[in-house]
Structure 1
Amino acid sequence: MSTPGRHPEWQYLDLMRHIWEHGDERVDRTGVGTRSIFGTMLRFDLSDDRIPLLTTKRVFWKAAVKEMLWFLTGSTNIRPLLQQGVRIWSDWPLKKYRQATGEDIAQEEFEARIVEDSAFARNWGDLGPVYGKQWVDWPTYEYGPDGKYQKGPGINQVAQVVESLKTDPGSRRHIIEGWNVAELDRMALPPCHKTYQFHVVGQGTDARLNCLLYQRSCDVALGLPFNLVGAAVLTRMMAAQAGLQAGELVWSGGDTHLYLNHTQLVEEQLRREPVGEPRLAITRVPDTIFDYAIEDFAVRDYEPQGVLRAPVAV
């Protein structure tokens, strides 16, 4: 929990240090190995444009925002991301392509083909029904007159929550869920940040929107910095659409881990100290939450320390 007078980023660094020093060493799905703890919580104040943007290493916040906007489109293909220079989802379809074709294609060449060739992108750039598909087009099925089930209209959870925040702010059902059990095996990666719950506190012009994100699996070194930015941006957009102030982001982790091959990143970051208070301004509030563009977001007072890189475990 954030302590008054203490930089909120220390929560993240304390979590990283605790996992590295006391985590259970485990064999994981990727074969890389992790140190892991279970059941964690971080809290960040989002009022006055605050954003949990790490300063002890550079976080490419525009990529995180672009990813969140991509989720809201319902797209499941990496082509729109690559067209914007966002490469964070390339590893999974690239691995699938290499395994299926036996071609040891370089990542840069694979990404270029996705961007340049729409047919190639359709065949090899799709991730299955991940995040955004579940958020804005959760599948339904209806019992037809012939006695068989047929596909029904998709459910837009995001739009429903925005509406319920406006009309029934005291509800305990402001939830966006990504864990569709029936479709997990079709996803390139089942959702890690799986459940968002929103909570309105206060009334009138002082009413604030809080968000609790439950993440079943969390790569603390590479994934969590992006997840915090994405969740904060989503909360800010939801609040703006519902006419609310931004409140608190509560992040909760299930299997919370560091990969064993991230030693250099972890040890270097733990030698650094947070500095400054980044702010994120939303410069335009469009008609719906689905109409934001990257140009609507601006970060100020962000002077991070150097980039720290490590391999992604696929």
Structure 2
Amino acid sequence: MTKAAEVFAELEPGPIPPQRRKPKQPAPLIYQPPPPTRIRDITELLMSELTPVQYVIPGWLPEGLTMLVASPKIGKSTLMLQIEVALATGGTFWGEDVPAGRVLMIDLETNERRLRRKLVEAGIVDLPEGMLRYATDWPKGLLGVEQIAQCLEEDPSIRLVVIDTLQRFRDSGTGKQNAYAADYEALAPLQQLCRDTPGLAIVCVHHKRKAASDDPIDSINGSAAIAGAADGIWIMSRKGSEYTLHIQARDWEKDEDEFSIVREAGKWQLVDGPRFTENEREVLGYLDVAGGMTGPQLGEALKVSRQAALSRLNRMRDRGAVVFREGSWHVA
């Protein structure tokens, strides 16, 4: 190549670079006004018929979010298992007949071996299939709430969800929030889920703080948001050999709010509480007057089916209230 050719080669243009596309401009934001706030006259509320509170455990546990708070190893899981079984079997709880309902138990502080042992210690060897379901592993935080919501959508007959414990269920957080905001955000989605699902109760098991307090609410481990976000609070306490249960709730209808309880045969019972439910007292009345009755005779007197009468009698026999001898049922 001559000198001149080399010079002309250097002057030849290279490949033309592709043209760069101009960045796409974002669409202009259009202001969307918030929906108008509905303001009503208070007389409408006074004249309206309100839906009564639905109870999952009649007289004790209403719909909504409830916190069960106690020190470690005091027996709060035993109390919850007692409630779960009463609901799953349609049994009784502290003097009240419980309509049967499905239960979802999320026990994050145990394993299957310990859970089986709890059931055996409480004398539970057989349950209706599908009425009490459990999990020992569950997503945390909002993912966990969404998983519960999915279960409720797949099975609307679930009446009770138990989370044991709140600390293992909630997100660990980033540490940038203050304690009040973090506690409220942990519970608010669960409370909202209860509002969106009438008749549903969610119980979160939680621990007490170590420092003693005269006010039971102040004994809750965490900020005041825990009591503020919940619809109800159950607090188990122990002084020496005596145990008490303190209850505060938005829909609490009993005059008392503190109850003495005692642990007997793997179950918590009310001290000086009612021994028999209203239905059981009715059964005892018929048996006492008649001097003994067969299952069909009792069913006819109670105006229930033979199967329902026998089921009631068998539960009462297990509690030592009635006996079966010489072909008929009698008061024990």
TM-score by structure 1 length? 0.27
More RCO (CA 8 Å, sep 6+): 1
Structure (1 or 2) with the greater helix fraction = 1
